[in-house]
Amino acid sequence: MSAIKLRTLEGGTTTVDGAALDAIGAALRGKVLAEGAPGYDEARTIWNAMIDRKPGVIIRCQGAADVVQAIRFAAAHKLLVAVRGGGHNIAGNAVCDGGLVVDLSQMKSVRVDPTSKRAWVEPGATLADLDKETQAFGLVLPTGINSTTGVAGLTLGGGFGWITRKFGLTIDNLISADVVTADGSLVRASANKNKDLFWALRGGGGNFGVVTTFEFRLHKLGPQVLAGLVVHPFDDAAPVLKEYRRIARSAPDELTCWVVMRKAPPLPFLPTEWYGREVLVLAMCYSGGVKKGEKAMAELRSIGKPIADVVGPTPFVGWQQVFDPLLTPGVRNYWKSHDFVNLSDEAIDILLDAVPKLPGPECEIFIGHVGGVAGRVGKKATAFPQRHSHFVMNVHTRWREAAADQSFIIWTRKLFDAATPYAAGTAYVNFMPADEVDRVERAYGPNYRRLAKAKRRYDPSNLFRMNQNIQPVSD
């Protein structure tokens, strides 16, 4: 290869000569990709089309040994490093301009042991990869609601979705992780080994090293679950949302119901006159038997006069993909998120006022429903502190034209600011856009200092800084 000028950790540049690049290439099972190489553009393209970065070099890893080589190479040359899992992060931390991207997207193995109900998952696997393997044995791991999301980044930030209230956050089911730390060693973190690292990995993001294998505890569920959508006219949104709030607060752990407010997409079960008009959707899933689910969902399904109710037994793998068509890659995105312990009348008024003013047809407001088992884990038991939040608002603004960036971003920030007085003040790091660096310390609240100490121990030079960054501190 020819010599390449690469960005350093300190913000300068260094020239890495061709011999050094050839040597690392020869040591890998994977590939070194420079600009123009086949696969380079695919490896630098991530879910959020707002992010268009050109790494100086990409190392496409095929296994843990490649990751060790890549990190030692980065450390030796003091390079700016980004680590790419599923490439879904809204802030774009999977890629960097001018530096080295450690691309894990080809490491997709998922191995399930149905007897011990465990899965070993590589960091390039998506939720769809994981669900297909686990559901073949009637087993599940609680993760997120969009099947193209990467298991790796989702897990390291916490991870919640349709079955979290019954089985906990994704991190609550992590048994161990193999991690390549900043000095290029491969270590295992678990309840017995490197306990401080294991604690920090469960919510602390990619700050502490590169995870090459996750070991998870699985649960029995599926292949069929009771799940589906109940669609209401937006004119009825206020009473529907208030009834929803009452029922959701005391719902059994098995019952999860998220709210989506947006212009109706052309769903085949909706009368066509509703296409493009504002609706409120209750999206529900029961983590148990279908008959018990029918009883548990009856009250939610009896609210108001819905336009459509398409709740029924459905394959869990399919349900995990139900929102994929609304969350496709390649669109410009800006998100803002709040945690709520309760949805006050004031918060509801603000959200309902915003829906008819959403700035584009692909924009939407999600209200995630958490709590349950995930809410009963201690705040300090893992690095993920916001166990108290019951509802998570996520404003998804999506648009196609670069010229519209500022107007969509400003609109979203205004809604976020209006809702701030009624929110819990904490934040989910996995939903934070790139401009929220000042929110990281508050997001971790009582756990930040312990995280900063773990950071000093495992990554004192802050090699892993393309993330919601935790700064290493001294005692």
Binding site for ligand FAD (CB under 6 A): 47, 82-90, 93-94, 104, 123, 144-146, 149-150, 152-154, 156-161, 205-206, 210-211, 327, 430, 466-467
The beta strands (E) that lie in 264-389 are given as: 278-286, 308-309, 312-315, 332-340, 364-369
CB of 352 to ligand FAD, least distance (A): 23
CB of 344 vs ligand FAD, minimal distance in Å? 24
Sign of CA dihedral 262, 268, 274, 275: positive
**In the complex, least distance from residue 139 CB atom to ligand FAD, rounded to whole angstroms:** 19
Residues paired with residue 337 on neighbouring β-strands, in sequence order: 394
Nearer to ligand FAD by Cβ, of 61 and 300: the residue is 61
Per-residue HEC secondary structure of 260-295 comes to EEEECCCCCCCCHHHCCCEEEEEEEEECCCHHHHHH
Q: Shortest gap between Cβ of 148 and ligand FAD (angstroms)?
A: 7
At its nearest, how many Å lie between ligand FAD and the CB of residue 158? 6
Beta carbon nearer to ligand FAD, 242 or 439: 439
| Residue with tokens 């166990």, as numbered in its chain | 387
| Count of other CB atoms within 10 angstroms of residue 470 | 29
Nearer CB in complex with ligand FAD: 230/466: 466
Q: Of 73, 63, 161, 169, which is closest to residue 394 (Cα–Cα)?
A: 161
> Which residue's Cβ has the minimum distance to ligand FAD?
153
Residue 438 tokens read as: 């000042």
Provide the minimum distance between the beta carbon of 475 and ligand FAD in the complex, in angstroms, as a whole number: 26
- Report whether 92 contacts 194 (CB < 8 A): no
Measured from the CB atom, is 98 or 306 closer to ligand FAD? 98
By CB neighbour count within 10 A (0-12 exposed, 13-18 middle, 19+ buried), where does 121 fall?
buried
Q: Are 368 and 430 in contact (CB under 8 A)?
A: no
Q: Which is nearer to ligand FAD, 160 or 244 (CB)?
A: 160
Contacts of 326 (CB under 8 A, 6+ apart): 265, 362, 364
Provide the minimum distance between the beta carbon of 115 and ligand FAD in the complex, in angstroms, as a whole number. Answer: 27
Q: Which residue's CB is nearer to ligand FAD, number 161 or number 360?
A: 161
Q: Whose Cβ is closer to ligand FAD: residue 289's or residue 329's?
A: 329
Residue closer to ligand FAD, measured from CB, 47 or 274: 47
Residues near 106 by Cβ (< 8 Å), separated by ≥ 6? Answer: 30, 60, 61, 62, 124
On the question of a cis peptide bond just before residue 114, with omega within 30 degrees of 0, the verdict is no
Min CB(427)–ligand FAD separation in Å: 12
CB-wise, 40 or 274, nearer to ligand FAD? 40
3-state class (DSSP) for residue 12? coil
As measured in angstroms, the least distance from the Cβ of 260 to ligand FAD is 12
